[in-house]
Structure 1
Amino acid sequence: MTDRVFVIAEAGVNHNGSLDTAKELVDLAASAGADAVKFQTFSADNLAMESAALADYQRLSDSDARTQHDLLRELELSHEEFRALRAHCDSRGIAFLSTAFDLEGLDFLVTELGIPLVKIASGDLTFAPLLVAAGRTGLPVILSTGMADLAEIDRALRFIAAGVAQAHGAIERSERLTADVLEQAWRRRDEFVDFAQHVTIFHCTTQYPAADENLDLRAMQTIASTFGHRVGYSDHSLGSLASVLAVGLGAIAVEKHFTFDIHAEGPDHAASLDPDGLHAYVADLRRVPAMLGSAQKRCQPVEAGNRAVVRRSLVATRDIAAGAVITEEDVACYRPASGRTSFDYWEIVGSTASRSYRRGDLIDD
């Protein structure tokens, strides 16, 4: 990731189980200028019990009797289809990412598809075996924190640190990760990687769509100050404003769902951007770093020529004899600023004129 905000176009499961649609989503993300397009790699059998109920946002209606397992089964893509997606991303010049929801999926994404980073979904922030496995990959990790508090984030980071320690042989993979072992890994977390740079913590509100009053964007600053890590934002709100504000508050990466039809059936379409919205979203985010600019307050080069035009000088309002005491009635502040600055008004008023002035002369005493 560079100083430019890293934009992840979240296709997720908005392909509705169709490889052709997934490829078209890749094309859309690439044309919009996103840095990466992200999918979700899971097996319904490994993710949810057959009796697990749908979340409210996943229901098509109050009478929707499907289970999470039913829904997930409809949205699965096979490993072969993911291989085709990865190849299509390569052909379009956009990074391929996918969130793994089980250990098998993570191994597939890392060893076969060569993902550049690991994304942990908010729902898996407490899935300790996956957190440890993510740390073992050696890849940068994005940890999404929807539904979490600071204590849970802290604990999740410790499991990732344990995985990093295992990858470097500091902890045996067969060793039980007791509280003492986790603490040992935590104390050594910077021996093998710059851990604060290695794990980017994404603020998130797990609701689709998320209302403005539930976004708490300033929580990113709390996360950053508490843990010292880089922060990002997983945006489930409507429109692009929240992501733009998030970058202004310090997010170095953002992700946002997108789709071809926000009215399509599926759990994430309603909280997604349509094609025009995605293009506008990326374009807006590309402008933010330039707008934030430097923290230094100075006269910009583009402003310099305007200083003389819009600032003021001290000007004689009537004739003043040399040696006379200059009064308030003798001077005024007028544009342009080509004479003595009007900051000096009270230094001039009450002083003795060193020379004579005609009405309209710039005061240069």
Structure 2
Amino acid sequence: MVHSNRIRRIGNKEVGTGRPTYVIGEIGINHNGELANALALIDAAADAGCDAVKFQKRTPEICTPRDQWDIERDTPWGRMTYIDYRHRVEFGEDEYRAVDEHCRARGIAWFASPWDTEAVTFLEKFDVPAHKVASASLTDDELLLALRATGKTVILSTGMSTPQQIRHAVEVLGSENIVLLHATSTYPAKAEELNLRVINSLEAAYPNVPVGYSGGSDQAASVEPGGLARLVRDIRTIETALGDGVKKVYASELGPMKKLRRVQSPLPAEGVTTSA
């Protein structure tokens, strides 16, 4: 029996134990501040079968340390100060209106990782179905409280965090509306540092909270559209292959059984199942 407290809703879909994997395509700021890029990435995610896409939303003056504002750096648009660069890659209300309309047309959900409380207020204008907490923000109590106040499902990544920090974040957010994601905040992470069994540890520590996995955000570590489609396809194949755990003899096995088994014994009628 599935524990009902381990189910959450994101839009019109249930996520959690016993439900299909909810696949989120991370766009972040990979659109480089260009709306056309964002729409193309949404299309790639929708075509691949993702359930949602996720962006990142920052208020540059809040999220950029003051001593870094005037540091110049090379960008795709030439050399500019870091604060100008942060503004260049941020979408405003017009761009997110277009994102919202396009996602609705493609039948895919969207939300974002807000990095400050002003970003939370901004995203709430669009009635997003959920909010995401980046691993870097797990210790930002002010942000967590603002997210809790929305009443929306909050997805919390746990990269670069200790068990004590995770416990505190869960206490601040409350466990009723959250989803925990195991993450290693290196992109791409080494296989020996993925430590996927932490998923089991989180499930044991938080029995009423759905637990998932988060990986990758940087452009260099991102998959191409074809790779994303294969990833989603393989996730769905694994879901189907897991089955229900009840041992049975399939109709497709009757031929090989008759041919290969030397000693036959009758099967009860309920012992055979057919596949659709």
The count of residues paired between Structure 1 and Structure 2 equals 243
Please say if residues 53 and 111 of structure 2, whose CA atoms lie closer than 8 Å, have aligned partners that are also in contact: yes
Percent identity between matched residues is 37
> 2:274 matched to which residue of 1?
none
Alpha-carbon distance, 1:11 to partner: 0.7
Distance 2:199 2:54 in 1: 22
**TM-score, normalized by length of structure 1?**
0.62
2:57 aligned partner, one-letter code: T
1:98 aligned partner, one-letter code: A
> Against the structure 1 CA distance between its residues 297 and 72, is the aligned structure 2 distance closer, same or farther, given a 3 Å change threshold?
farther
| Superposition RMSD in Å | 2.4
Distance 2:93 2:151 in 1: 22
1:75 aligned partner, one-letter code: V
Distance 1:301 1:294 in 2: 17
> 2:211 matched to which residue of 1?
231
Structure with the bigger percentage of strand: 2
1:202 aligns with 2:169: no
Runs of 5+ consecutive residues of structure 2 not aligned to the other structure: 1-13, 267-276
Alpha-carbon distance, 1:307 to partner: 2.4
Runs of 5+ consecutive residues of structure 1 not aligned to the other structure: 54-58, 162-188, 190-194, 237-256, 258-267, 314-336, 340-365
> Against the structure 1 CA distance between its residues 301 and 151, is the aligned structure 2 distance closer, same or farther, given a 3 Å change threshold?
farther
Distance 2:214 2:21 in 1: 13
2:259 aligned partner, one-letter code: V
> Against the structure 1 CA distance between its residues 52 and 144, is the aligned structure 2 distance closer, same or farther, given a 3 Å change threshold?
farther
1:120 is aligned, of 129, 133, 149, to 133
Distance 1:218 1:130 in 2: 29
> Against the structure 1 CA distance between its residues 208 and 338, is the aligned structure 2 distance closer, same or farther, given a 3 Å change threshold?
closer
> 1:278 matched to which residue of 2?
228
Distance 1:66 1:103 in 2: 27
> 2:110 matched to which residue of 1?
96
> 2:247 matched to which residue of 1?
297
Q: Deviations over 1:11-30 (max 9, x none)?
A: 11100111111111111111
1:140 is aligned, of 147, 153, 173, to 153
1:76 aligns with 2:90: yes
Q: Report 1:201-280 matches (<5 A).
A: 201-228=180-207, 229-236=209-216, 257=217, 268-280=218-230
Please say if residues 50 and 68 of structure 1, whose CA atoms lie closer than 8 Å, have aligned partners that are also in contact: no
1:34 aligns with 2:56: no
> 1:149 matched to which residue of 2?
162
Alpha-carbon distance, 1:66 to partner: 8.4
1:130 is aligned, of 135, 139, 143, to 143
Alpha-carbon distance, 1:71 to partner: 4.8
Report which structure shows greater RCO (CA 8 Å, sep ≥6).
2
> 2:3 matched to which residue of 1?
none
Please say if residues 50 and 67 of structure 1, whose CA atoms lie closer than 8 Å, have aligned partners that are also in contact: no
1:139 aligned partner, one-letter code: K
1:19 aligns with 2:35: yes
> 1:108 matched to which residue of 2?
122
1:9 aligned partner, one-letter code: G
2:182 aligned partner, one-letter code: H
**TM-score, normalized by length of structure 2?**
0.81
Distance 2:82 2:241 in 1: 43
1:220 aligned partner, one-letter code: I
Deviation >3 Å, runs of 4+: 65-71
Please say if residues 187 and 215 of structure 2, whose CA atoms lie closer than 8 Å, have aligned partners that are also in contact: no
Please say if residues 59 and 118 of structure 2, whose CA atoms lie closer than 8 Å, have aligned partners that are also in contact: no
2:54 aligned partner, one-letter code: K
> 2:172 matched to which residue of 1?
159
> Against the structure 1 CA distance between its residues 36 and 312, is the aligned structure 2 distance closer, same or farther, given a 3 Å change threshold?
same
Alpha-carbon distance, 1:295 to partner: 2.0
Distance 2:236 2:81 in 1: 40
Distance 2:241 2:50 in 1: 19
> Against the structure 1 CA distance between its residues 218 and 71, is the aligned structure 2 distance closer, same or farther, given a 3 Å change threshold?
farther
Distance 2:252 2:83 in 1: 59
1:23 aligned partner, one-letter code: L
